[in-house]
Chain A
């Protein structure tokens, strides 16, 4: 199953992929055999969903949980502070300057 070379799977059971480069909004990319359209620009080092993730489901990266989804996430969606949260302490973020 073809996947865009900019996407990196760190551990076989992960439900997120890490970006080795940037992907622009509107780009159509290969994601494990399906073609999906990326909604917004996603930067290097950020994550996108490898498969659908239910609200409350654990987000797996490096093969371990890095938190829980706060809403339903579709395959190809940007996975970040807007849709996942820590199971320990909240993450502090500033309003984006963009």
Chain B
């Protein structure tokens, strides 16, 4: 493994230019700017015109993510996003940052031209940067499942769990999430907490999710989950929970919080306070974005129905849980965990395969979604209170 050393001591496994629009009105200009530099420049952004502390925090964390080497901010000029603060945070991290304000620049064409020139300059510079060696304890990995079906919980998710057990043992930071998909698992999960106080926090985070989703009237359960054999949110939860493996749970974090040492962490993604801005995460990429804000270098994505997404900034490893889906969508899948159903492989073998791929991807190997140009990104409104003192013991 190798990485790009950043001023805060972290290492990136990619070295991209992030092009960030600060309101939907600047989205087209930003998209035109990255279109010239497909692989090397990634589009991220926040569509809202109203201020939001969570979105500001997410953007600050994402623009200083270890995989990011330089940042171009694209502003319309009249939005509420605090561009000056974001620019200061990025500059303080030692990264080159440049802002284009469309209303000042003279419109679409001149903004696109100016942006493309700046990005091109940065891409050439970043391509020459030297890498340093990198070890597993310097790596942070997230896991999610999407498009789950009845096979996810018996093949892909427990195989990802085996991989997580090995990675945690070797000192990596591993993050699992979506408390709304742990409803029904709160008691067995709490037994794995590093301290009794943390156990209480873990239980409370799932109770909060259950209340939040009950108020919205839907669980985190899509129509396709039922087609694939899942009947209830508890059943989906048990399958999703298997991704966490069996390691001790070292802490509970919220989006943007960064664990300081290796171990397994749960991310609480459900907003605090009254139900305000709608569903916690409106689609899978919202979860990937939050884990990236907490520093994950890459994400293990287990899918039964067959999701094809990747992500801006961080590679996504796609693990197929369903062998029939793998046959149809193999061009999008990195790992075939569906082999477990026919007895062609066991959980440990697939877990080992995932760990090997994690190391290779950290070493520069491109995942299927990277090769196919998937760079999905979504960020919406939320509100969070800071985590309590019991959430990160030690």
Interface of A toward B, CB cutoff 8 Å: 8, 10, 18-21, 43-47, 59, 61-62, 64-67, 79-81, 84-94, 96
- Known A20-B342, A88-B233, A91-B219; judge A45-B151 contact (CB<8 A): yes
A44 to B232, CA, bound (A): 17
Q: Which of A8, A59, A64 gathers most chain B CB within 10 Å?
A: A64
Beyond A44-B151, A80-B229, A89-B233, 4 additional pairs, beta carbon < 8 A? A44-B229, A45-B151, A62-B238, A86-B231
A94 to B228, CA, bound (A): 12
In the complex, whether B304 has a CB less than 8 A from a CB of chain A is yes
- Known A67-B234, A89-B218, A92-B223; judge A44-B341 contact (CB<8 A): yes
Inter-subunit contact B150/A44 (CB<8 Å): yes
- Known A65-B234, A66-B231, A67-B232; judge A81-B154 contact (CB<8 A): no
Inter-subunit contact B184/A44 (CB<8 Å): no
- Contact-size category for B: 35 or more
Inter-subunit contact A66/B234 (CB<8 Å): yes
Contact of A88 among B184, B225, B238, B322 (CB under 8 A): B184
Residues of A within 8 A of B342 (CB): 20
Interface of B toward A, CB cutoff 8 Å: 149-154, 183-185, 188, 210, 213-214, 217-219, 221-223, 225-235, 238, 304, 322-324, 341-342
* Total A-B pairs, Cβ < 8 A: 113
Task: Tell me the interface secondary structure of chain B in the complex.
Answer: loop
Task: Tell me the interface secondary structure of chain A in the complex.
Answer: loop
A45 to B226, CA, bound (A): 10
Inter-subunit contact A65/B213 (CB<8 Å): no
